[in-house]
């Protein structure tokens, strides 16, 4: 890694046409107050918001939305830091989250308002988990001895007993999982490390990479599984190949060093939506250029989820003026009108609902 490199180089031979992200139509999800985590189901059937329950410390509410209406709400989150708790969908559209008692819960048909099925024993302080395409999930559990666990249909096994796991990313094609942890270094700082664990052979050699000297946020695989984007607390977007974790420079958006909090790829892998302090950026991943800035968001953009065609983006906050306080603090769907955050030719505006 070379600290001199700040922006991805654009070779003279490859000069892609500049992309333009149009103004989105923003629709607020009512009563999705202070959402900390948002998820778009891979089968496009529903979206999920996970919000703090203001009255009860350490509690969060998981809400399922279809056609802009709530179809189900569950109270989850055992952890004292609901913003780190996870909800995840597997490729077939099932939803998983950590229940208040520390067990992992499965909802088979969230869009139908289905009931929950408790899948596991209780874990001590479970948090941070992400879905895998094959019906398994990964969680981190344990305050004193944190471990990354693979949980599948009621059984669990330890993937990693690694240090201070702070984030997980799972390959949409199920080939690997990438684990982010913090390592204590001289000088009193934490530095992020990434470890790549090939699946399903968890005994395969683990590839590790250190950060630029900052902490990493949650890693996100590109839709084709070839790249992993991960933000850092210095405001970079680091891009690694998912086979050997080779870094292809990093992108330093304008207004850094604000921390990168959330990332979402476009379906074609050309764009990343980037969440920062009260700001949403669109970055052309082919050039490293920031091509659109939404800098009037009500809150920090801590979570992003794109629809499968990436025409729409679910954001934990928005910048629309809203008379009702809870709507101002709600999550919102940004509809760019065509796939890949509006950079594809427009298709049918009439196709405006999800689910």
CB of 288: closest distance to Zn ion in angstroms?
13
Rounded CA-CA distance 26/322 in Å is: 12
Among residues 29 and 214, whose Cβ is nearest to Zn ion? 214
Among residues 98 and 214, whose Cβ is nearest to Zn ion? 214
CB of 230: closest distance to Zn ion in angstroms?
9
Rounded CA-CA distance 73/38 in Å is: 14
CB of 298: closest distance to Zn ion in angstroms?
27
CB of 310: closest distance to Zn ion in angstroms?
25
CB of 216: closest distance to Zn ion in angstroms?
8
Cβ neighbours, 10 Å, residue 117? 12
Among residues 94 and 209, whose Cβ is nearest to Zn ion? 209
Cis peptide before 179 (omega within 30 of 0): no
The structure tokens 């590109």 sit at: 222
Among residues 5 and 81, whose Cβ is nearest to Zn ion? 5
Helices (H) and strands (E) counted in the chain, each on its own, are: 2, 28
Exposure b/e, 169-193, CB count within 10 A at least 16 = b: bbbbbbbbbbbbbbbeeeeeebbbb
CB of 114: closest distance to Zn ion in angstroms?
41
Among residues 214 and 228, whose Cβ is nearest to Zn ion? 214
HSE (CB half, 13 Å, CA atoms) of 263?
A: 33
Residues lying near Zn ion in the complex (CB under 5 A) are found at 212, 214, 232, 234, 236
Cβ neighbours, 10 Å, residue 12? 6
Contacts of 226 (CB under 8 A, 6+ apart): 241, 242, 243, 269
Among residues 54 and 210, whose Cβ is nearest to Zn ion? 210
């Amino acid at each position: 890694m070379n600290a001199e490199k700040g922006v991805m180089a654009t070779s003279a031979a490859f000069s892609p046409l500049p992309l333009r992200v149009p103004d989105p139509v923003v629709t607020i999800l009512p009563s999705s107050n202070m959402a900390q985590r948002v998820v778009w189901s891979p089968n496009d059937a529903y979206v999920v918001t996970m919000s703090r329950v203001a009255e009860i410390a350490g509690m969060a509410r998981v809400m399922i939305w279809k056609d802009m209406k709530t179809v189900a709400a569950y109270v989850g989150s055992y952890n004292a830091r609901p913003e780190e708790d996870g909800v995840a969908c597997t490729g077939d559209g099932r939803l998983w989250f950590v229940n208040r008692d520390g067990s992992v819960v499965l909802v088979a048909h969230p869009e139908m308002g289905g009931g929950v099925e408790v899948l596991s024993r209780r874990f001590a302080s479970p948090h941070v988990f992400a879905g895998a395409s094959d019906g398994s999930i990964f969680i981190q559990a344990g305050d004193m001895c944190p471990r990354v666990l693979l949980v599948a249909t009621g059984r669990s096994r330890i993937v990693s007993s690694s240090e201070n796991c702070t984030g997980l990313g799972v390959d949409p094609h199920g080939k690997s999982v990438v684990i982010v942890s913090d390592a204590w270094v001289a000088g009193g700082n934490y530095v992020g490390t990434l470890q790549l664990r090939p699946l399903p052979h968890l005994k395969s050699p683990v590839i590790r990479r250190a950060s630029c000297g900052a902490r990493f946020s949650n890693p996100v695989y590109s839709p084709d599984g070839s790249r992993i984007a991960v933000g850092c607390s210095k405001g970079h977007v680091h891009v690694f190949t998912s086979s050997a974790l080779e870094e292809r420079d990093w992108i330093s958006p304008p207004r850094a060093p604000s921390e990168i909090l959330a990332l979402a790829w476009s379906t074609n892998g050309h764009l990343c939506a980037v969440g920062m302090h009260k700001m949403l950026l669109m970055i052309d991943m082919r050039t490293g250029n920031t091509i659109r800035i939404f800098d009037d968001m009500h809150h920090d953009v801590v979570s992003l989820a794109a629809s499968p065609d990436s025409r729409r983006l679910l954001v934990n906050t928005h910048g629309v003026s809203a008379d009702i306080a809870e709507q101002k603090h709600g999550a919102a769907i940004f509809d760019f009108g065509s796939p890949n955050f509006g950079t594809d030719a427009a298709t049918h505006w009439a196709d405006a609902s999800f689910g």
